[in-house]
Amino acid sequence: MNFNEKCYRILSQVPKGKITTYKSLAQEMKTKAYQAVGNALNKNPYAPEVPCHRVINASGKLGGYAKGIKKKIQMLKSEGIEIKDNKIDLQKYEYKFRSNSKNNYFGTLNGMSSFTREDRIDDRL
């Protein structure tokens, strides 16, 4: 699995109503390549099943979105996320990855079918 596919696999865990940061996503991938994560998300062929609109800057600012910032805001608000002054409260909405050695991000992607609800690590476990 290449870098982009690994990024999409991890990001597919973030549920509606939650966000993550480029930094957190990179850390879960065991890298400091935050900009590379952003570049991968900009090329995401699986959107919206792989929810790149749920990734923001570590400061809480919205960051970019391939379909435009207005579309990102619309999508986040439709999922119940509050946005004030173009920022999101990380304390309230940040998804915490449960990083451990059992996570397998190196499986094969077969198009969007690889990102079914059953394949995601359920946050309630």
- Residues marked active site are found at 52
* Nearest CA-CA partner of 50 in 124, 102, 125, 109: 109
Q: What's the rounded Cα separation, in Å, for the pair 115 and 111?
A: 8
Task: Give the angle subtended at the CA of 123 by the CAs of 77 and 26, to the nearest 5°.
Answer: 75
Cβ 40 vs Cβ 84: under 8 Å: no
Q: Which helix (H) or strand (E) holds 21?
A: strand 20-21
